[in-house]
């Protein structure tokens, strides 16, 4: 296969975003080997390249979760139906989505167990046994685990029956501390998603209609995908005393009085991988933010004549040594593929930087770097590589964020009436900022007329002030 032909085929194979975004998404997820379908309805396989993304996300977020004083623990994945039923809103919201274990060993069980759709119930039960005094508070626990919701319509990463996530569950002595925790974790998510995933988000409270089943208040961070649909990227819930009252989670305060705790829960999931794909990807495939890219720079050695091979190979060795632990480098020295085939594959897989090394580069004591995000080329002398490559990767990271931010700004409209909102969604997508004073009837009307839902009321209103004339806005969008 010639280089030119392979290049053409590889690109032709991928549907253009503008032709069919949804098809583009599924194709790129499978061609880049992030994930695959499985024989279990609605469940996917996360392949090594996709799981590598998740491992880096976990590492970076886990450090933030621990830095804010939380510890990890692990609770059973099965929840007795009787526990799930204690909180009325919670069971109403989740029971219809549960997968149920009814047989164990070779026997029919006396009570059904739900595979956790979320763990408030089982954790609430344990907290009621562990918490006795104000000295036991706050309890700051996080869990990394799988969870399952028997969704009717599924899509790789975005909505799968089984997903991987982290769920934080905390208990506090006062409503004030509890609310501080809710906002602290929302800010942890915002910082993580913007800094490491290069995805700009708006964070703030959701409306009552969009609230987590059993929560007093739900906050979310909301991102905008390249097809103009919004995606909820993380949530932080103030559970108030709802679960504490039904699970009897009480403590003796400093005055010796028994009180119910105040609780939070917060989570992000493998859905974030879908958000990365749909925020940064283009018609050639993925564009991965360097902070989480399993391979940050791929080295492609090039020679035509056999006599060049030894010199190139030796120089590649020096490049590896020069970079050391400063970047996650992979040398693609597979013999069966041409350089051109490799270029296309690594573009499809979104490797942030490619380093080409041919005989001329060896002669120049330099490598030719090519950025995935904007294809900018730069010859980097090997003497500078150790300092230049990490900086270059940070430049790619920032450029991806800026590009996503510009896209979001270009796709944020303003509307003052239901007519203006309808007019917007008749021709456009993206966010619409609407002056907001908690009007559930208007929210319902907007949803009925346009399919858009209230994503959140941004805590940071600064981006809207120039257009909102001092009025607080809520963001509406069609959403995943």
The contact set with a second copy (CB under 8 A) reads 36, 38-41, 43-48, 51-52, 54-55, 71-80, 83, 96-106, 112-113, 115, 122, 125-126, 129-130, 135, 141, 145-146, 148, 150, 152, 161-162, 164, 336
**Which of 200, 210, 203, 212 is CA-nearest to residue 184?**
203
Closest distance between a second copy and the C-beta of residue 39, in Å? 6
Closest distance between a second copy and the C-beta of residue 262, in Å? 20
**CA 147 – CA 464 distance, rounded (Å):** 37
* Residue linked to tokens 């270059």: 392
Is the bond preceding residue 373 a cis peptide, omega within 30 degrees?
no
Q: Which two tokens stand for residue 232?
A: 């909820």
Closest distance between a second copy and the C-beta of residue 221, in Å? 24
51 vs 431, beta carbon nearer a second copy: 51
**CA 312 – CA 170 distance, rounded (Å):** 56
Closest distance between a second copy and the C-beta of residue 133, in Å? 10
Closest distance between a second copy and the C-beta of residue 113, in Å? 7
**Which of 343, 346, 339 is CA-nearest to residue 304?**
339
Closest distance between a second copy and the C-beta of residue 47, in Å? 6
| Phi then psi dihedrals of residue 197, to 5 deg | -95, -5
24 vs 75, beta carbon nearer a second copy: 75
286 vs 474, beta carbon nearer a second copy: 286
Closest distance between a second copy and the C-beta of residue 265, in Å? 16
247 vs 431, beta carbon nearer a second copy: 247
To which H or E segment does residue 132 belong?
none
87 vs 373, beta carbon nearer a second copy: 87
Cα torsion 443, 449, 453, 459: sign? negative
Closest distance between a second copy and the C-beta of residue 31, in Å? 13
| Phi then psi dihedrals of residue 277, to 5 deg | -60, -45
108 vs 305, beta carbon nearer a second copy: 108
148 vs 404, beta carbon nearer a second copy: 148
**CA 419 – CA 187 distance, rounded (Å):** 34
273 vs 366, beta carbon nearer a second copy: 273
Say if CB 319 and CB 311 are below 8 A apart.
Answer: no
Closest distance between a second copy and the C-beta of residue 235, in Å? 22
- 3-state DSSP call for residue 117? coil
Beta 258-260 vs 297-301: how paired, if at all? unpaired
47 vs 398, beta carbon nearer a second copy: 47
**CA 100 – CA 80 distance, rounded (Å):** 10
**Which of 384, 315, 327 is CA-nearest to residue 354?**
327
DSSP states along 156-218: TTTB-SEEEEEEEEEEESSHHHHHHHHHHHHHHHHHHHHHHS----EEEEPPGGG--TT-SEE
**CA 446 – CA 350 distance, rounded (Å):** 38
Q: Which two tokens stand for residue 93?
A: 């919201």
Closest distance between a second copy and the C-beta of residue 468, in Å? 42
1 vs 45, beta carbon nearer a second copy: 45
């Amino acid at each position: 296969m010639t280089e030119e032909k392979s290049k053409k085929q590889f690109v032709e194979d991928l549907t253009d975003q503008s032709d069919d975004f949804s098809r583009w998404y599924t194709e790129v997820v499978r061609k880049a080997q992030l994930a695959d379908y499985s024989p279990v309805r609605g469940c996917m396989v996360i392949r090594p390249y996709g799981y590598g993304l998740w491992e880096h996300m976990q590492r970076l977020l886990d450090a933030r979760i621990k830095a804010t004083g939380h510890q990890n623990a692990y609770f059973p994945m099965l929840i007795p139906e009787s526990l799930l039923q204690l909180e009325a809103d919670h069971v109403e919201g989740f029971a219809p989505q549960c997968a149920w274990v009814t047989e164990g060993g070779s026997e029919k069980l006396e009570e059904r167990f739900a595979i956790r759709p979320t763990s408030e119930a089982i954790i609430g039960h344990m907290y009621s046994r562990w918490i006795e005094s104000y000295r036991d508070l706050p309890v700051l626990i996080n869990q990394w685990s799988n969870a399952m919701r028997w969704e009717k319509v599924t899509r790789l990463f975005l909505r799968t029956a089984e997903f991987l996530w982290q769920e934080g569950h905390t208990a506090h002595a006062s409503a004030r501390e509890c609310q501080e925790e809710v906002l602290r974790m929302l800010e942890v998510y915002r910082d993580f998603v913007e800094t490491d995933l290069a995805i700009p988000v708006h964070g703030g409270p959701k409306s009552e209609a969009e609230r987590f089943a059993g929560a007093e208040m739900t906050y979310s961070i909301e991102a905008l995908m390249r097809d103009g649909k919004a995606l909820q990227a993380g949530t932080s819930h103030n559970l108030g005393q709802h679960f504490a009252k039904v699970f009897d989670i009480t403590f003796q305060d400093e005055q010796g009085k028994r009180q119910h705790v105040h609780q939070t829960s917060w989570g992000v999931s493998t859905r974030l991988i879908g958000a990365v794909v749909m925020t940064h990807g283009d018609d050639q495939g993925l564009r991965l933010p360097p902070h989480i890219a399993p391979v940050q720079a791929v080295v492609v050695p090039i020679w035509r004549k056999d006599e060049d091979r030894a010199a190139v190979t030796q120089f590649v060795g020096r490049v590896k040594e020069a970079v050391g632990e400063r970047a996650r480098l992979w040398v693609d020295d597979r013999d069966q593929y041409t350089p051109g085939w490799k270029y296309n594959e690594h573009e499809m897989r979104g490797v942030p930087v490619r380093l080409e090394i041919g005989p001329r580069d060896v002669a120049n004591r330099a490598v030719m770097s090519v950025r995935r995000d904007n294809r900018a080329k730069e010859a980097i002398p090997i003497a500078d590589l150790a300092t230049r490559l990490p900086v270059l990767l940070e430049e790619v990271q920032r450029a991806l964020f800026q590009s996503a931010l510009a896209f979001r700004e270009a796709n944020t409209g303003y509307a003052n009436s239901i007519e203006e909102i309808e007019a917007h969604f008749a021709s456009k997508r993206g966010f619409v900022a609407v002056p907001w004073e908690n009007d559930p009837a208007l929210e319902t009307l907007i949803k009925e007329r346009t399919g858009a839902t209230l994503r959140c009321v941004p805590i940071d209103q600064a981006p809207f002030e120039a257009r909102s004339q001092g009025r607080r806005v809520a963001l509406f969008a069609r959403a995943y």
